[in-house]
């Protein structure tokens, strides 16, 4: 099918912003919608399947409305990562105050996630890669610290990654743990700035530790984030949730499609979702591929894996048995 559209009144500046440098935005729409787009000044010709061509046209129209000023490539990719455009999030949506300015949810699910973190003492954020689970949680923690709503931020992860263990890494304990916690450092540096983060570490306002170090502690007046929680055992999850003291908040994030525990071991995150779903004061948020705010391919990759047929899983080679020691 071929669709033709003319933007009027003609405005060369807006058309330049719409198309992007060297027509980069047009190429992005072509790749995302799987169509061909040709244009001459304000006249556009879109060729492709009917639904795809209509989707591309709606994307062009949405971009034209934004084109009073230059449009970042990231914004085009985010717009195309869901349907044609990201679902509207109202101006009244909760915003976290950070060095980067206001941080808001870009989708209704993300906005609800932020609201739940603000109004609940324990919040779960469960969803695939790229949905902002960890970043938004760290933004809430930074906002709470800046407002003196908490005295410190505690960030933790289970030290389990793709079957590896700490022992294979070189260096002392700090150097061994560091690679596992790097995503948390990255979020902090982005939201607070390198110098401010370093000063917060020196003042012990920010603490990062592997989950095993949480046992026996009581965390008062702290904002505690457990990241990569799909790799906790049931016992570890219970241990973590019972560390929460007075004036504290806890956020648990994880992706149940990327569990690195042995196949015979139940994920503490899956178990907690089942056990705690009706407990008052706990909010459980489910994010989906529609909430992915990375490259548009990430959402399509997530969808492809979720749609994989059970027969393909059955054909996968069985896990090797561990050698007795």
Together in a domain, 162 and 47: no
Quote the CA–CA distance of 256 and 237 in Å, as a whole number: 14
Residue range 269-293, pLDDT digits in tens: 999 999 999 999 999 999 988 787 7
**Domain end residue (candidates: 48, 80, 112):** 80
167 with 233, same domain: the answer is yes
- Give this prediction's pTM: 0.67
Residue 324 DSSP one-character state: P
> How long is the chain?
325
Q: Does one domain contain both 32 and 147?
A: no
Looking at the structure, tell me whether residues 48 and 106 fall in a common domain: no
Would you say residue 320 lies in a domain? no
What domain count does the chain have?
Answer: 2
The phi and psi torsions of 252 (rounded to 5 degrees) equal -115, 120
CB 133, CB 112: distance < 8 Å = no
Report angle CA 43, 47, 53 to the nearest 5 degrees.
90
Q: What is the mean pLDDT of residues 245-266?
A: 92
| Same structural domain, 208 and 280 | yes
* Whether pLDDT at 76 is above 90: no
Mean pLDDT of the chain: 82
Q: Which two tokens stand for residue 33?
A: 């919608």
Q: Both 52 and 195 in a single domain?
A: no
Q: What is the pLDDT of residues 86-113, one digit of tens each?
A: 444 444 557 776 666 677 787 889 989 9
Range of the domain at 199: 95-315
Question: Are residues 66 and 109 located together in one domain of the fold?
Answer: no
Q: Domain check: are 64 and 106 in the same one?
A: no
Whether residue 160 is found in the same domain as residue 285 = yes
């Amino acid at each position: 099918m071929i669709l033709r559209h003319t933007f009027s009144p003609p405005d060369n500046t807006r058309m330049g912003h719409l198309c992007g440098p060297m027509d980069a935005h047009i190429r992005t729409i072509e790749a995302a919608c799987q169509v061909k787009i040709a244009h001459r000044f304000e006249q556009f010709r879109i060729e492709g399947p009917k639904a795809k061509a209509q989707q591309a046209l709606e994307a062009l129209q949405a971009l034209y409305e934004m084109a009073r000023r230059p449009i970042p490539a990231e914004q085009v990719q985010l717009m195309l990562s869901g349907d044609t455009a990201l679902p509207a999030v109202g101006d009244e949506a909760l915003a976290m105050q950070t060095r980067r300015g206001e941080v808001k949810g870009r989708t209704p699910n993300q906005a609800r996630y932020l609201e739940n973190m603000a109004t609940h003492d324990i919040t779960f954020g469960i969803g695939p890669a790229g949905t902002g689970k960890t970043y938004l949680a760290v933004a809430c923690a930074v906002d709470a610290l800046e407002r003196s709503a908490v005295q410190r931020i505690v960030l933790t992860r289970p030290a389990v990654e793709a079957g590896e263990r700490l022992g294979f890494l070189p260096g002392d304990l700090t150097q061994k743990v560091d690679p596992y916690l790097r995503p948390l450092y990255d979020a902090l540096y982005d939201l607070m700035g390198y110098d401010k983060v370093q000063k917060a570490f020196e003042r012990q306002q920010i603490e990062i530790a592997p989950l095993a170090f949480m046992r026996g502690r009581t965390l008062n007046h702290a904002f505690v984030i457990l990241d990569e929680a799909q790799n906790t055992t049931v016992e570890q999850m219970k241990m973590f949730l019972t560390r929460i003291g007075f004036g504290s908040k806890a956020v648990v994030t994880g992706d149940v499609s990327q569990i690195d525990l042995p196949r015979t071991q139940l994920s503490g995150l899956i178990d907690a979702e089942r056990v705690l779903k009706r407990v008052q004061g706990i909010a459980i948020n489910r994010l989906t591929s529609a909430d992915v705010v990375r490259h548009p391919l990430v959402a399509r990759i997530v969808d492809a894996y979720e749609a994989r047929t059970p027969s393909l899983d059955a054909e996968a080679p069985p896990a090797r048995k561990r050698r007795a020691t």
